C-alpha cells in the first residue's frame, strides 16, 4: 500500500495544481519548488487550465500491474497551454484515431486500485479530446 | 382501535432568507447501451422497451469522477471562489466506497477544502434533492453563503432484470446562494415521505430488488402527486402557472402519466424528460432534468421539480428563473451537448465496463 504517496500527490493529480515562478513567471508541473527555467525558489501554487495538445502518444496492450484491467489504453505526452509537458492516459477515445496536435482537456478519472479491490481507489488526471 | 391517518402538515419549507441556484452543472458519460441490445440477450428481442438507450460509465468513471465534472461545470457558471462553499454534499446510491465519503474527493478536486461540510447522502433516487433541501436550509439560515448539492449515480441493475434496461448513469450539481445572486430562485419546497418498501438493496447484495408493480401506485405515483399537490396548494398555483415541469423518471411512461395526473402537458415536461436517451440516473434523474430545462428556460419561467426516492419519498420545488440565467448558462457544457457525445456499445462491452465479469 502506498497511501501516504497518493495522499501527498492528490492536489496535483486531481486538479493539475502546479507552481508558478515568482521570478520569471514560468509555470511548473509537477511542482518541485525550484524553477527549472531560472533556478529561483518557486513555491506559489498555480492551477493549470487543463487545456493542451497531444505531443506524442502510444497504445499500451501489455499493461503493467494495476493497469491490466483497463488495457488496451493510450498514453500521451500532453503539451499544456501554459508550457509544461505531462505524461497521461487519454480517455473516452471512442476508437477514433489519435493525432499529434489533437486538442485535449483534463478530466479527473479513476487510475487504478491501490493493490487489489480492497485498497483505496487512486484518482488522477487523464485527458480527453477537446470538442 | 382506529388506524391513524397520515395527515400531511401543510407547511412549506421556506428559508428565512430567500435562496436560489447560482450555478449548475450536468454530467452524462458518453457510452450508450440500446435497450434493444438488452432485449436481444435476455428475451430474444421480444417485448416492449421502456426507453431507447441508457448512458453507461466508462471503465475509469464512478460517482466521484462524474460528480467532479458536474461540480466543475457548476463552478464555471457560478464564478465563485471554491473556498466560499461551506458544504459539498453528494447524494447517490452508488458511492464508490461503502465507508469513506465521495464528497471529500469532490471537495478536494474543486478546491473547496478544508473549511467545508462534506457528506454523502442516501435516499435511493432522491438522495440528491434531499441534499438540495438541506443546502436551502444551510444558506437560508445564513450559516453559509454558498452550498453545493450533487445528485449522481451509476445505477445497478441485475442482469436480465427489468431494471437492467433503464439503470443509467449521470447527474447534476447545484450551487445554492442568496436569491439576489441567483439565476433561479427556489421559492419553496415540500417533502412527502412514508415507509414504503418498493425498492431496496441489502448491504451484502450487489444488485437491488424491487416490488414489481408495487413500485407504481403506492410508491412513485402516490408520493409525487402528494408532494406536488401540497406544494401547489400552499403556493396557490396550478399546473398552468408553470412553464416547465420535471418529474423523477424511472422509465418513459411514469413521468408522462404523473404529469397528466397533475394537469401538466407533454410540452411542459419535454425539455427535462431525458430518460429515453440516458436511462434512469437515479439520484441524478430529477436534478439533470432540471439542468436540461435551465439550459433552455427564459427569465420569468416558473419550473416545478418533483423527485422520487424509493423507500419512499418525494421532494417538490417551486423555482423561478431570473434574468441572470442567460449570461451564465453558456459558461459550461450543456446537458444536451453531453447527451450528443455518444458512443454506442454492445452488451458484452457493457458487461466489461460495469464489472459484471467474475475475474477471479
Q: Which of B273, B284, B114, B124 is nearest to B196 (CA)?
A: B124
Whether residue A69 has pLDDT greater than 50: yes
Whether residue B309 has pLDDT greater than 60: yes
Task: Residue B99: give its domain's CATH number.
Answer: 3.40.47.10
One domain, residues B175 and B32: yes
Name the minimum distance, in Å, from the CA of A3 to any CA of chain B: 14
Question: What confidence score (pLDDT) does residue B5 get?
Answer: 57
One domain, residues B54 and B172: yes
Provide the pairing of β-strand B85-91 with B117-121.
Answer: parallel
Interface test with A, best of B27, B58, B60 (most A CBs within 10 A): B60
- Annotation marks residue B6 as catalytic: no
Residue B240 domain boundaries? 184-325
The answer to whether B21 and B184 are in contact (CB under 8 A) is yes
Name the minimum distance, in Å, from the CA of A14 to any CA of chain B: 5
Residue B1 inside a domain? The answer is: no
Question: pLDDT band at B1, cuts 50/70/90?
Answer: very low
Say yes or no for a CB contact (<8 Å) between B64 and A91: no
Question: What confidence score (pLDDT) does residue B54 get?
Answer: 98
Question: What confidence score (pLDDT) does residue A95 get?
Answer: 79
Question: Between the CA of residue A78 and those of A98, B118, B308, what are the distances in Å?
Answer: 12, 33, 44
Interface test with B, best of A105, A123, A124 (most B CBs within 10 A): A123
The answer to whether B135 and B129 are in contact (CB under 8 A) is no
- Total domains present in chain A: 1
B105 touches chain A (CB under 8 A): yes
Question: What confidence score (pLDDT) does residue B10 get?
Answer: 63
- Determine which of A14-28, B203-217, B284-298, B310-324 has the lowest per-residue pLDDT on average: B203-217
What confidence tens digit (pLDDT) does each residue in A23-35 have? 999 999 999 999 9
Q: Which of A71, A67, A27, A59 is nearest to A45 (CA)?
A: A27
Mean confidence (pLDDT) of chain A: 95
- Determine which of A35-39, B132-136, B148-152, B198-202 has the lowest per-residue pLDDT on average: B198-202
One domain, residues B78 and B155: yes
A107 touches chain B (CB under 8 A): yes
Question: What confidence score (pLDDT) does residue B11 get?
Answer: 86
Whether residue B2 has pLDDT greater than 60: no
One domain, residues B192 and B308: yes
Q: Which strands make up the sheet holding B146-154, listed edge to edge?
A: B117-121, B85-91, B146-154, B169-178, B19-27, B184-196, B311-321, B302-306, B244-247
Residue B59 inside a domain? The answer is: yes
Residue A88 domain boundaries? 3-129
Question: pLDDT band at B4, cuts 50/70/90?
Answer: low
| Given B37, B53, B61, B93, the catalytic residue | B93
- Per-residue pLDDT averaged across B10-33, rounded? 95
For chain B positions 186-215, those within 8 Å of chain A (CB to CB) are none
Question: What confidence score (pLDDT) does residue B6 get?
Answer: 57
What confidence tens digit (pLDDT) does each residue in B237-263 have? 999 999 999 999 999 999 999 999 999
What confidence tens digit (pLDDT) does each residue in B175-226 have? 999 999 999 999 999 999 999 999 999 988 989 988 888 889 999 999 999 9
Name the minimum distance, in Å, from the CA of A42 to any CA of chain B: 21
One domain, residues B63 and B110: yes
One domain, residues B241 and B289: yes
Mean confidence (pLDDT) of chain B: 95
One domain, residues B177 and B52: yes
- Provide the grid cell at B14: 421556506
Question: What confidence score (pLDDT) does residue B213 get?
Answer: 80
Task: Residue A26: give its domain's CATH number.
Answer: 2.40.50.840
A96 touches chain B (CB under 8 A): no
d(CA B170, CA B63): 8
What's the predicted TM-score (pTM) here? 0.96
- Determine which of B38-52, B142-156, B270-284, B291-305 has the lowest per-residue pLDDT on average: B38-52
Say yes or no for a CB contact (<8 Å) between B61 and A110: yes
One domain, residues B111 and B154: yes
- Annotation marks residue B93 as catalytic: yes
Whether residue A21 has pLDDT greater than 90: yes
One domain, residues B91 and B33: yes
- Annotation marks residue B181 as catalytic: no
Whether residue B307 has pLDDT greater than 50: yes
Question: What confidence score (pLDDT) does residue B359 get?
Answer: 79
B68 touches chain A (CB under 8 A): yes
Residue B14 inside a domain? The answer is: no
Q: Please report the sign of the dihedral spanned by the C-alpha atoms of residue A24, residue A30, residue A36, residue A37.
A: negative
Return the biggest CA–CA distance within chain B. 61
Contacts of residue A70 in chain B, CB cutoff 8 Å?
A: 59-60
Amino acid at each position: 500500500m502506498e497511501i501516504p504517496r497518493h495522499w501527498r500527490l492528490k492536489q496535483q493529480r486531481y486538479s493539475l495544481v502546479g507552481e508558478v515562478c515568482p521570478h520569471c513567471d514560468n509555470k511548473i508541473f509537477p511542482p518541485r519548488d525550484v524553477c527549472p527555467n531560472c533556478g529561483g525558489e518557486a513555491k506559489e501554487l498555480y492551477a493549470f487550465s487543463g487545456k493542451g495538445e497531444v505531443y506524442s502518444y502510444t497504445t499500451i496492450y501489455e499493461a503493467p500491474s494495476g493497469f491490466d484491467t483497463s488495457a488496451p489504453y493510450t498514453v500521451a505526452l500532453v503539451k499544456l497551454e501554459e508550457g509544461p509537458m505531462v505524461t497521461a492516459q487519454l480517455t473516452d477515445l471512442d476508437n477514433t484515431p489519435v493525432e499529434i496536435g489533437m486538442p485535449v482537456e483534463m478530466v479527473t478519472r479513476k487510475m487504478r486500485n491501490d493493490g487489489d479491490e480492497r485498497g483505496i481507489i487512486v484518482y488522477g488526471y487523464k485527458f480527453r479530446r477537446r470538442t | 382501535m382506529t388506524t391513524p391517518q397520515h395527515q400531511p402538515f401543510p407547511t412549506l419549507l421556506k428559508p428565512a432568507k430567500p435562496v436560489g441556484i447560482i450555478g449548475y452543472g450536468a454530467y452524462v458519460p458518453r457510452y450508450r447501451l440500446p435497450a434493444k441490445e438488452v432485449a436481444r440477450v435476455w428475451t430474444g428481442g421480444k417485448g416492449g422497451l421502456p426507453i431507447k438507450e441508457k448512458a453507461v460509465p466508462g471503465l475509469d468513471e464512478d460517482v466521484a469522477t462524474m460528480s467532479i465534472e458536474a461540480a466543475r461545470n457548476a463552478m464555471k457558471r457560478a464564478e465563485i471562489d471554491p473556498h466560499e462553499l461551506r458544504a459539498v454534499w453528494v447524494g447517490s446510491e452508488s458511492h464508490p466506497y461503502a465507508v469513506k465519503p465521495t464528497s471529500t474527493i469532490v471537495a478536494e478536486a474543486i478546491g473547496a477544502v478544508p473549511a467545508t461540510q462534506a457528506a454523502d447522502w442516501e435516499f435511493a433516487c432522491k438522495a440528491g434533492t434531499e441534499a438540495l433541501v438541506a443546502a436551502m436550509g444551510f444558506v437560508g439560515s445564513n450559516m453559509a453563503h454558498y452550498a453545493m448539492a450533487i445528485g449522481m449515480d451509476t445505477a445497478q441493475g441485475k442482469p436480465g432484470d427489468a431494471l437492467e434496461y433503464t439503470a443509467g448513469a449521470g447527474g447534476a450539481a447545484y450551487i445554492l446562494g442568496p436569491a439576489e445572486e441567483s439565476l433561479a430562485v427556489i421559492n419553496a419546497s415540500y417533502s412527502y415521505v412514508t415507509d414504503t418498501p418498493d425498492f431496496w438493496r441489502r448491504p451484502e447484495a450487489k444488485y437491488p430488488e424491487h416490488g414489481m408493480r408495487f413500485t407504481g401506485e403506492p410508491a412513485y405515483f402516490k408520493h409525487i402527486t402528494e408532494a406536488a399537490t401540497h406544494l401547489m396548494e400552499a403556493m396557490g398555483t396550478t399546473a398552468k402557472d408553470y412553464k416547465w415541469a420535471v418529474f423523477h423518471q424511472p422509465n418513459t411512461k411514469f413521468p408522462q402519466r404523473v404529469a397528466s395526473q397533475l394537469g401538466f402537458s407533454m410540452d411542459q415536461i419535454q425539455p427535462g424528460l431525458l430518460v429515453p436517451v440516458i436511462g434512469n440516473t437515479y439520484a441524478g434523474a430529477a436534478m439533470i432534468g432540471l439542468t436540461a430545462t435551465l439550459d433552455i428556460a427564459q427569465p420569468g419561467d416558473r419550473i416545478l421539480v418533483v423527485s422520487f426516492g424509493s423507500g419512499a419519498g418525494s421532494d417538490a420545488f417551486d423555482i423561478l428563473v431570473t434574468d441572470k440565467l442567460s449570461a451564465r448558462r453558456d459558461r459550461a457544457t450543456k446537458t444536451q451537448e453531453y447527451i450528443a457525445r455518444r458512443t454506442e456499445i454492445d452488451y458484452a462491452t457493457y458487461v466489461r465496463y460495469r464489472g459484471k465479469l467474475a475475474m477471479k
